[in-house]
Amino acid sequence: MNTDFKVNDLLLAKLLGTVYLLSVPVSGYFGWLGYSFSYHFFKFSFFLNILLLAYFASKYSLSCLSLSAVVFFFLVLSTVGSIVNVEGVLLGPFFSHLLFFVVIFVGLGSASATYKILRRDVRKFDNYFKINIWLLFLFFVFYFYSFRSGMIPYWGMSSALPLILPFFLLRRSWFYVFLTVLVCLLSGKRSIIIISIIQLLFFYFFMLKTPFFKKSVIAITSLIFCFVLTLVFPEMFVRFEGFSVDGGTVDYSALTSGRFDEVLVFFEKFSGDMVGAVLGFGLGANVIVDYSFGSSRVLHYSHFSPFGIALVGGFLFSIFIYLTFTVNLYLAFRLFLKTRSYLLAYLVLCGIYYFITSLSGPALFNDVLFWLVLGLLVFCNFNRTFAYHLSAGGIGDRRTFES
């Protein structure tokens, strides 16, 4: 197999990366306007990125084979579970769960090939990330205007902005850090705003070699800035206001956009069948969720992804995935503290993003990058090639985090 990443492949990866960054907010915007093609655009981007990563993995090198073998074992168990639980299996969810495992294999297997892109000189990605954040800024300004003018009734559009923010933090591009945070606020998506704040705090207090007093001043200044924003643009923080019902109690369903109802239904299903909870209910398993705000849906996943995985492969599978992710994220952070590697710093911040977002959305089911980041963390922690590059003086044109 080839070892050097070709220029044309790099350009293709950048192009589809831009499509990935724009697909969710753009499809969501046109979806709220009632255009049916919006969902197909999202699916097109989803499959395009899977095909691209599969192409890179087959052309350059496969990775995480041991981890993929364990996942395959759970796929076999899930297949057996679907045969045993045949009355509770729906055909659509069955193929969705098969695709879910394909996404895992592609994400983990393409980690080595993706590493060949990321270990290039970080400065070569400056213009790429700047162009993308300006595109997202223009889009979300228009989206915010559409919400204010009444064209769209909902404010809270998801995006992958926490993939961009770490790059500008590591490059010390403070103007673009500010611009990215502003775009997060314009999106109105609570989870994205919270994750971005966590990334900022983690970077300042655990990664940046700056006196504690200076870090505290920066943190206090940022809080004052956010307070001023709430006074000048109170509508930007309306998504964080409490939702109450008669009697002054909090409506957790409204506060979590129905996720609280999902958790209760999944918990009831698991507590009613301990064998199914441990081993899973198989491919095509599903639950009916009656939301407190009146609607009802048949779900084969959960916005709280640990339950979504457990539905298919049981809590053994769910615990294995999250334990593997957490341990490798911790090991990568420890290795970063020793090496000050750009790549490790970026992966740790992106790992924080995907770990948290999987707790509030079905990221493990519809986003191959969760599994790609997991594969990259495993690759960097245990691959001899990466260890050699670290010993040679850092990742990305021999540049370390402090240079």
Beta bridge partners of 400: 341
pLDDT score of 354: 94
pLDDT score of 395: 41
Average pLDDT over residues 16-21: 90
Average pLDDT over residues 13-38: 89
Q: What DSSP line would sit under 153-210, residue for residue?
A: S-------GGGTHHHHHHTT-HHHHHHHHHHHHHHT-HHHHHHHHHHHHHIIIIIS--
Average pLDDT over residues 324-336: 95
Q: Which of 93-102, 107-116, 192-201, 318-327 has the highest mean predicted lDDT (pLDDT)?
A: 318-327
pLDDT score of 208: 81
Does residue 396 carry a pLDDT above 50? no
Q: Regarding predicted confidence, which is higher, 142 or 214? A: 142
Q: Which of 162-171, 251-260, 261-270, 375-384 has the highest mean predicted lDDT (pLDDT)?
A: 162-171
Reported residue count of the chain is: 403
213 — pLDDT class (breaks 50, 70, 90)? low
Q: What DSSP line would sit under 28-74, residue for residue?
A: HHHHHTT-THHHHHHHHHHHHHHHHHHHHHHHT----HHHHHHHHHH
Beta bridge partners of 297: 289
Beta bridge partners of 287: 299
pLDDT score of 325: 97
394 — pLDDT class (breaks 50, 70, 90)? very low
SS3 288: strand
- What lies within 8 Å, CB to CB, of 57 at 6+ separation is 63, 106, 109, 110, 112, 113
Mean pLDDT of the chain: 83
d(Cα 93, Cα 72) in Å, to the nearest integer?
19
